[in-house]
Amino acid sequence: MNITSLQNSHVKEWVKLNNKKYRDEVGLFLIEGEHLINEAKKENCLVTLITTNKQEIADFYVTPEIMKKISNQKSSTSKIAVCKKKIEKPLGNKVLVLDGIQDPGNLGTMIRSAVAFSFDSILLSEDSVDVYNDKTIRATEGMLFKINIVRKNLEIALTEMQKNYQILATDVNKGKRTSEMTKEKKLALIIGNEGSGMKESTKTFASEFLKIPMSQECESLNAGVAASIFMYELGDFYD
């Protein structure tokens, strides 16, 4: 179908998907660019393909003006897709628990690293940034479609997980190196907010604390970097 009017009902619906509340209502979100669209296709998440290029096979052909209206990117894009949100599944054997993460780039990095280092699930607190924020999506480089992500009240979830998981948290003072750990049960690694760290109520669920040995010249690491290092070390340890 060809669309040339900015007032078209489809265009209005697509623009509304840039709003989190509307995404939550309809269970859909937007992605931009060839790579993300290909990853969405592989996981059967793609619903509608929109492009300005009439040489391609798509559901809708729009003008550059319409594409600019829908897009969140400053640079021009020729292809956008509507995707369905992933269905939340039961948590797996290696879970990254995120408590109050606010930066979409950090969340995207952690999703990407979780897939790279064989974590199968992410448990996201209710006050963390939206997974389907366009900046988060871009930062995942398509790995969003390859991992189970569950958003839930952490106290409720961690209370249940204590029965079956070894719950680890980070602490630069009393933490130990991953090489000093004893493997138990399944793994859940908690990473806290970028500025204030994890909540005290969340920390009480941890059975052990970890740290990354580093130079005294550096006080702390970016949350995404720290999470990636821990997952790299723990991924092999728990295989």
Long-range pairs for 143-146 at CB < 8 Å and ≥24 separation?
Answer: 143/39, 143/111, 143/112, 143/114, 143/115, 143/116, 144/39, 144/86, 144/108, 144/111, 145/39, 145/40, 145/42, 145/43, 145/45, 145/86, 146/39, 146/43, 146/115
80 and 106 inside one domain? no
Tens digit of each residue's pLDDT (9 = 90 or more) over 185-225? 799 999 998 877 889 899 999 988 988 876 677 666 778 88
Total domain count, the chain: 2
Looking up residue 50, the CATH number of its domain turns out to be 3.30.1330.30
Same domain, yes or no: 165 and 55: no
Highest mean pLDDT: which of 9-13, 53-57, 179-183, 230-234? 9-13
CATH number at residue 110: 3.40.1280.10
Which pLDDT band holds residue 132 (cuts at 50, 70, 90)? very high
Query: Is-above-0.85 flag for pTM?
Result: yes
In 3D space, the residue among 120, 101, 112, 169 whose CA is nearest the CA of residue 137 turns out to be 112
Clarify whether residues 125 and 32 are in a common domain: no
Residues 116 and 206 in one domain: yes
Query: By C-alpha distance, which of 105, 85, 90 is closest to 20?
Result: 85
Examine the domain organization and report whether 133 and 186 are in the same domain: yes
Q: What local confidence, expressed as pLDDT, does residue 127 receive? A: 94
